[in-house]
Amino acid sequence: MPSWAVLPDKERWNLVGYLKTLAPEAFKEAPKKLELPKEVASSEASIKRGKEMFEAIECHKCHGTDGRADGPSRPELKDEWGHPIAPANLTKRWTFRGGPGRTEIATRLAAGVLGTPMPTFIDSVEKPEDIWHLSNYIASLGPERPSYATLITVTAARGDIPDDPNAEFWKKLTPSTIPLMGQVIQDPRNFNPSVDLVAVRAAYNDRDVVFHLTWDDPSESKGDGKQTFPDAISLQFPPQITASTERPYFLMGDANEAVYLLRWEQGKGVGEATANGPTKIAPIAGGEAGGKAVYDHGQYRLVMRRPLTASGEARPTFRPVVFTPVAIQAWDGGAGETGTRMSLTSWYYLRLEEPQSSRRFVIPPVVAILTLAAMVLVVRAANRAR
pLDDT 10s digits, 23-44 = 999 888 888 888 999 999 999 9
pLDDT 10s digits, 176-214 = 999 999 999 999 999 999 999 999 999 999 999 999 999
pLDDT at residue 357 above 70?
Answer: no
pLDDT at residue 359 above 60?
Answer: no
Which secondary-structure segment (H or E) carries 16?
A: helix 9-21
The pLDDT, as a whole number, for residue 368 is 64
- Answering whether pTM is above 0.75, one says yes
Question: In the chain, what's the furthest Cα-to-Cα distance?
Answer: 103
Confidence of residue 369 (pLDDT cuts 50, 70, 90): confident
The pLDDT, as a whole number, for residue 97 is 87
Radius of gyration from C-alpha coordinates of the chain: 27
Q: Which residues contact 21 (CB under 8 A, 6 or more apart)?
A: none
pLDDT 10s digits, 159-186 = 999 999 999 999 999 999 999 999 999 9
**For a pLDDT cut of 90, what percent of the chain falls above it?**
84
The pLDDT, as a whole number, for residue 77 is 97
The pLDDT, as a whole number, for residue 375 is 73
Of 230, 177, 209, residue with least CA distance to 318: 209
Q: Where are the beta strands (DSSP E) in 34-172?
A: 151-156
Tell me the mean pLDDT in the region 98-116.
95
Per the prediction, the chain carries an average pLDDT of 93
The pLDDT, as a whole number, for residue 244 is 85
pLDDT at residue 362 above 60?
Answer: no
pLDDT 10s digits, 117-150 = 999 999 999 999 999 999 999 999 999 999 999 9
d(CA 175, CA 375): 45
Q: Which of the pair, 312 or 359, is modelled with greater confidence?
A: 312
